[in-house]
Amino acid sequence: MRVLCLIPNQLRHSPGQRGSIELWEQVLKPEGITLDFAPFETEHLRTILYSSGNNLAKAFEMVRGYVKRIGLLRRLDEYDAVFVYREAALLGPAILERLIARRKPIIYQLDDPLFVPYKSPSNGYLSYLKFFGKIKEIIRISSVVIVNSTAIRQYAEQFNTNIWQIPSLVDSDLYAYDPTDQDADTVCVGWSGSPTTIKNIKMVEEPLRRISAGGLCKISLIGADDFNLTDVIHTAKKWNSNTEVDDLRAMQIGLVPLPADNPWNPFKFIMKTAQYMTLGIVPVGTPSASNSEVIRHGENGFLAANDNEWFDHISQLASDGKMRREMSHQAAQDAIANYTLAANREKIVNAFRSVVGA
């Protein structure tokens, strides 16, 4: 079975792609399912897309990517199916998806609530060129739909019956659990995220200020040089794919704050929680999105709904080594059992094979 994979981003740059279709290739290829990747974005578009301004250059590169997509339609007979990750193009209605569905079955993966309108902070009103209403149409015309969260599955079930729920996955070869990571002389609480989510850490500024003032533990933040925090003693560094795992291993407690004013958050599977847990980093997170399902409060992590709860749970984990180690072990076991490639191997293969009977 040969599958053309229409993905938005260049390989190895997008966390969503890396935790799904790029990782799935490892289990699909041995089963005779070959993937040919076709990114929409050009290298130049990747460098400017998530920065402010450059709208003319962004528009030109978008059109360039769209033209390349149209050219791919001439090659559809070389494939048994087409995999679409999120959308076939970064702009416009579902024209490409409709043309593809007339000739080949579509395996559609939706791991973000693209059906919820939003205005990108870096692209402003250009975001509305994405045609948010097209998502339900893509779901409807697809032969197979793969989602990563319960909330997105519930949305997709309105338009399709062949739905497979597969969480965003952690590469356990890279994120290997080592219980000795919890034996650090000084406990470290940390956070890691992308430039678009660094504002989330402001949610816990007050608890971190109290942690910092009391010298309860170190604070390490990954994703930017400056997090705009007042009276919080911390280290800050940009995210680097080459050092990501080692940077995370320095943490014993991982923060997962999710702002309530983000309309996407209730639908999302929070990949960072799973990454923390796979490494044995005990998560403390907002009781929202997949956190409410993944974090079992008091067993493999804590859920915190206000400043006092954030402070109390972090303080407890920092000061009680026995409890922290027990929760670290449980977090790792739960993650390995549910959010790794090995745990989801059979489901991934069967989802792709189901295109034959869809």
Interatomic CA distance for residues 280 and 328, integer angstroms: 5
User: What DSSP state is assigned to residue 36?
Assistant: E
Is residue 6 exposed (0-12), middle (13-18) or buried (19+ Cβ within 10 Å)?
buried
Phi and psi, residue 233, nearest 5°:
-80, 115
How far does the chain reach from its first CA to its final CA, in angstroms? 15
Q: Average pLDDT, stretch 179-202?
A: 92
- 191 Cβ contact list (under 8 Å, min separation 6): 200, 201, 220, 221, 222, 223, 254, 255, 256, 257
Superfamily name and number for 2-168+341-356: Glycogen Phosphorylase B; (3.40.50.2000)
pLDDT band for 122, please (50, 70, 90 cuts). Answer: very low
Question: Is residue 129 pLDDT above 70, yes or no?
Answer: no
CA distance 297 to 300: 7
3: enclosing H helix or E strand: strand 2-7
Please report which confidence band the pLDDT of residue 123 belongs to, taking 50, 70 and 90 as the band edges. Answer: very low
- Indicate the SS3 state at residue 189: strand
Q: What is the mean pLDDT of the chain?
A: 91
The yes-or-no verdict on residue 115 having pLDDT over 70 is yes
Indicate if the pLDDT at residue 228 is higher than 50. yes
Question: Out of 3.40.50.2000, 3.40.50.150, 3.40.50.300, 3.10.560.10, which CATH number does the structure's domain 179-338 have?
Answer: 3.40.50.2000
Return the number of other C-beta atoms located less than 10 Å from residue 185's C-beta: 4
260-309 confidence digits (pLDDT tens)? 888 999 999 999 999 999 999 999 999 999 999 999 999 999 999 999 99
On whether the CB atoms of residues 6 and 69 are closer than 8 A, the answer is yes
Which single residue is written with the structure tokens 């940009």? 238
| Reported pTM | 0.89
User: Each residue of 21-53: pLDDT tens digit?
Assistant: 999 999 999 999 999 999 988 665 656 555 566
d(CA 293, CA 271): 13
Question: Which regions of the chain carry the CATH code 3.40.50.2000?
Answer: 2-168+341-356, 179-338
Higher pLDDT, 46 or 327: 327
**Cα Dmax for the chain:** 65
DSSP assigned state of 42: -
d(CA 130, CA 82): 20
3-state secondary structure of 279: coil
pLDDT of 261: 87
List phi, psi (to 5°) of 170.
-105, 135
Integer Cα distance of 192 and 178 in angstroms: 19
